[in-house]
Amino acid sequence: MLTPPTPPDAPTAPEGRLAVIDIVRGVALLGIFTVNMLFFSSPAGYFGLTRTWPGELNWWLEAAVRTFFQGAFYALFSFLFGLGFALQLRRGRAALPRFRRRLLVLLGIGALHASLIWYGDILLSYAAAGFVLAPFAFRRTGVVIAGAALFFTLSSGSYLGFWDLGFAGRAPWLTLAAFDRTFGEGTYPEVVAYQLRLLGREVLNFPSFLPTVLWLFLLGLLAGRHEVFARPNRRLWLWVLAAALPLALIFKGFYATWLLTGTRHPFSLAFSFALGGPALMFVYLALLNLLLARARWRQRLGFFGAAGRMALSNYLAQSLICTLIFNGYGLGYWGELGLTVTLPLALAIFALQAVFSVLWLRHFRFGPAEWVWRSLTYGAPQPLRHARAGS
């Protein structure tokens, strides 16, 4: 059985919070990858197309992904980003300059990823939102709650079409035909040129998208402050489950019904992203914490923890692998493989990544991308290998 090693500076107790957080992060990484397969493999993800592939099984799988995964796992990753920020702040105010340097490096990694590898990058947005998060570091709880409420309102209003905070405007070059042609048949330089234009739109639309992750960042910050992962708290997670499950059933249920019947209400997708996705995220978060309160489940799901500790490396590797499989400059399977193929493919790739992560972390303290991120943050190469006993 592959058992991941204890992370450096992690609690040695089996119920250590870092082990639980890493497992949750690994689960979130798999959930995000499952949704991203809609974007890697065809224009269905970017343009919100449904019934892209023939066959009833493909359709049911697509409906399941859009209902149970889309909108939930990016929310979980955002919550964990804020939680991680809270853990860094335990070192005091000296952690803030280091956090901002980490964000600058992440900004660069995200820009390179979005332009040179895959347009669907989230790292750039996280880094930009992190600079807005930083001023809340040592604010009172009431101020953090007020900030979360403000960003939630801005995000929900944007999804529901009440306002548009972005500045990108119309893009005559961004059509389904051009998108399909570029990624399905284009050379690598053509894809990079197109992705640079998409990157420009993403930056101009930051004011519209950043509130979507910022309110979750702030909730994660509060969770970290109050040490909700520090020890099992069955009552807390049962309350979270009781509050979130009805909302998830209502708003994701509406979306699933309209999706399956083909008579979607104009607000079905908006409600799914604004309310249903985050509610479903809290359902998953509560269930995971109830499950991980038991030592045997922490052991069984330990491989998720290894993948979660190397989340940046695995995320970037997923993009590189899938663009080489689907884009025209690679194997060229763009638009040809339905979810009956791409979902098992995603599971297989993630399983291999999890095994690789376990083996890598037996010898090294960080994933390769995490090591680069950390070294650039500190301005010098950081120790990568585990210190030998007695040395």
**Burial (Cβ within 10 Å: 0-12, 13-18, ≥19) of residue 82:** buried
Closest among 81, 118, 207, 106 to 154, alpha carbons compared: 207
In a domain, 11, yes or no: no
Element (DSSP H or E) covering residue 213? helix 206-225
385 belongs to a structural domain: no
Per the CB < 8 A criterion, the answer to whether 281 and 79 are in contact is: yes
What is residue 230's DSSP assignment? S
Query: Which amino acid type is present at position 185?
Result: E
Residues with Cβ within 8 Å of 341's Cβ and at least 6 positions away in sequence, in order, are none
What's CA 283's distance to the chain center, in Å?
A: 16
Q: Residue 385's beta-bridge partner residues? A: 364
φ, ψ of residue 364 to 5 degrees: the values are -125, 155
In whole angstroms, give the CA distance from residue 33 to residue 53: 19
pLDDT score at 390 = 46
Look at residue 4 and tell me if it is in a domain.
no
In a domain, 52, yes or no: yes
Could you tell me if residue 259 is inside a domain?
yes
Nearest to 316 by CA among 265, 389, 371, 237: 371
pLDDT at residue 175, rounded to an integer: 96
Could you tell me if 325 and 333 are in contact, meaning their C-beta atoms sit under 8 angstroms apart? yes
Looking at residue 6, its pLDDT comes to: 41
Question: 364 in helix, strand or coil?
Answer: strand
**390 dihedral zone (left: phi>0; alpha: psi -120 to 50; beta):** left
In a domain, 3, yes or no: no
Total count of domains within the chain: 1
pTM here is 0.93
Residue 303, in any domain of the structure: yes
Find, among 124, 360, 13, 95, the residue nearest to 370 by Cα.
Answer: 360
Q: What Å distances lie between residue 227 and 17, 110, 222, 292, CA to CA?
A: 9, 30, 9, 16
Indicate the burial class of 154 (C-beta count within 10 angstroms; 0-12, 13-18, 19 or more).
buried
With a cut of 70, which residues of the chain have pLDDT below it?
Answer: 1-17, 264, 266, 388-391
How is 122-160 classified by DSSP, letter by letter? -HHHHHHHHHHHGGGTT--HHHHHHHHHHHHHHHHHHHT
Task: Read off the pLDDT of residues 42-78 as tens digits, 9 standing for 90 and up.
Answer: 999 999 888 889 999 999 999 999 999 999 999 999 9
Please write the tens of the pLDDT for every residue from 257-314: 888 887 767 678 888 889 999 999 999 999 999 999 998 999 899 999 999 999 999 9
* Domain-embedded: residue 391: no
What is the extent of the structural domain holding 311?
17-378
CB-CB contact of 148 with 136 (8 Å): no
- The tokens for 141 are 């709880």
Give the number of other Cβ atoms within 10 Å of residue 262's Cβ.
8
pLDDT value of residue 391: 44
Output the pLDDT for position 268.
81
